[in-house]
């Protein structure tokens, strides 16, 4: 009986230690999860997704568009040399956009972690944010506002090829429809020269009838059309992400500014209370000395 008692006590101690260890791990996990800026994290994921869709699909769609023009609308290289150079420039710009926003989204996520940490310190009466930190938040807010305007322009620009391909798709669908009352299919044409994509003297410059239907059935047209739609959706998602970032940064900046003002007020109030307390003690000392 005496030999079993220490064993039971040791088992109880081990169980208690394991319980404390699991409780410590749980509290550590809760503390880590509490420091995650979930709003910034959601905006970062949306920004990554939108930029990836826009850049990847836009790059492939531009290549397919150039191939389609070379094969069906402009067979002379000199006629579309300018367009080819512009498309190549756009593709390089897409590379730059993808690289830049990858870094910028990570910086904004880091700013979210900084602000969340500052807010937690403020709640623990250990608020140590500086004017430099608030200026960084304001600077990111200004940049995000500019980039949001830029991507709104990109979104509108991306809608142009979607509109052109949509018209061409509808024309082909109308010719294939059994309900269409078309006397001569060859009279229906799509002339890309009128959009300013290629010069007016480009050969052939337009496609009519069965030739137009065959173009709509090519992989270049089908893939480019749908990739432009996905790229447009990606640009829209990026705009939403940047607006989301802008709201987060504005809220963070306002909160940091208010919290800093409140902290300064509390410091002044604490100092005044200490001065009043010291003054009261000195008066009590004087009164006690006068009575003695």
Instruction: Please tell me the predicted confidence (pLDDT) of residue 1.
Output: 47
Distance linking the first and last C-alpha atoms of the chain? 73
Instruction: Please tell me the predicted confidence (pLDDT) of residue 207.
Output: 84
| Inter-residue contact 121 to 127 (CB < 8 Å) | yes
The CB-side HSE value for 145 (13 A sphere, CA atoms) comes to 9
Instruction: Please tell me the predicted confidence (pLDDT) of residue 289.
Output: 57
Instruction: Please tell me the predicted confidence (pLDDT) of residue 262.
Output: 57
Query: How many other CB atoms are there within 10 angstroms of residue 200's CB atom?
Result: 10
Each of the 292 residues of the chain gets a pLDDT tens digit; together they read 455 545 555 554 555 555 555 556 656 666 665 567 788 889 999 999 999 999 999 999 999 998 888 888 888 888 788 888 989 999 899 999 999 998 999 998 888 887 776 666 554 455 555 567 678 888 899 999 999 999 999 999 999 999 999 988 888 888 877 666 666 777 788 888 888 888 888 888 888 888 888 888 888 899 999 999 999 999 999 999 999 999 988 888 777 776 655 555 455 656 655 656 666 666 666 656 555 5
Segments making up each domain of the chain, as ranges: 39-156+221-260
User: At what angle are helices 131-176 and 209-216 packed, to 10 degrees?
Assistant: 140
Residue 207's H or E segment, with its range, is strand 206-208
State how far the Cα of 264 lies from the Cα of 110, in Å rounded to an integer: 26
DSSP state of 194: G
State how far the Cα of 51 lies from the Cα of 89, in Å rounded to an integer: 18
Which residues, including other chains, have CB under 8 Å from residue 42's CB and lie 6 or more apart?
Answer: 244
Instruction: Please tell me the predicted confidence (pLDDT) of residue 280.
Output: 62
Phi, psi for 74 (deg, rounded to 5): -150, 90
State how far the Cα of 157 lies from the Cα of 287, in Å rounded to an integer: 83
User: At what angle are helices 131-176 and 38-68 packed, to 10 degrees?
Assistant: 40
State how far the Cα of 157 lies from the Cα of 177, in Å rounded to an integer: 31
Instruction: Please tell me the predicted confidence (pLDDT) of residue 220.
Output: 87
Assign 257 to helix, strand or coil. Answer: helix
């Amino acid at each position: 009986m005496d030999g079993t008692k220490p064993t039971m006590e040791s088992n109880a101690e081990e169980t208690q230690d394991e319980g404390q260890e699991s409780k410590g791990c749980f509290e550590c996990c809760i503390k880590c999860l509490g420091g995650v800026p979930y709003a910034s994290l959601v905006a970062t994921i949306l920004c990554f997704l939108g930029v990836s869709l826009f850049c990847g699909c836009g790059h492939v769609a531009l290549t397919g568009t150039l191939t389609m023009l070379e094969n069906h609308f402009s067979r002379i290289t000199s006629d579309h040399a300018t367009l080819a150079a512009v498309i190549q420039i756009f593709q390089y710009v897409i590379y730059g956009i993808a690289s830049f926003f990858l870094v910028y989204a990570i910086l904004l996520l880091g700013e979210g972690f900084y602000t969340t940490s500052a807010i937690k310190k403020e709640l623990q009466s250990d608020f140590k944010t500086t004017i430099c930190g608030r200026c960084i938040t304001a600077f990111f807010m200004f940049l995000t506002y500019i980039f949001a305007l830029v991507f709104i322009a990109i979104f509108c620009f991306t809608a142009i090829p979607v509109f052109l391909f949509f018209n061409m798709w509808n024309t082909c669908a109308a010719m294939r429809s059994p309900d269409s009352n078309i006397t001569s299919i060859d009279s229906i044409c799509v002339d890309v020269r009128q959009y300013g994509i290629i010069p007016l003297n480009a050969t052939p410059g337009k496609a009519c009838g069965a030739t137009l239907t065959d173009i709509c059935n090519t992989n270049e047209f089908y893939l480019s059309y749908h990739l432009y739609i996905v790229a447009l959706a990606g640009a829209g998602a990026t705009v939403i992400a940047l607006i989301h970032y802008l709201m987060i940064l504005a809220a963070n900046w306002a909160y940091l500014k208010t919290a800093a003002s409140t902290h300064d007020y509390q410091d002044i109030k604490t100092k005044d209370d200490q001065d009043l307390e010291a003054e009261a003690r000195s008066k009590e000392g004087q009164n006690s000395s006068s009575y003695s």
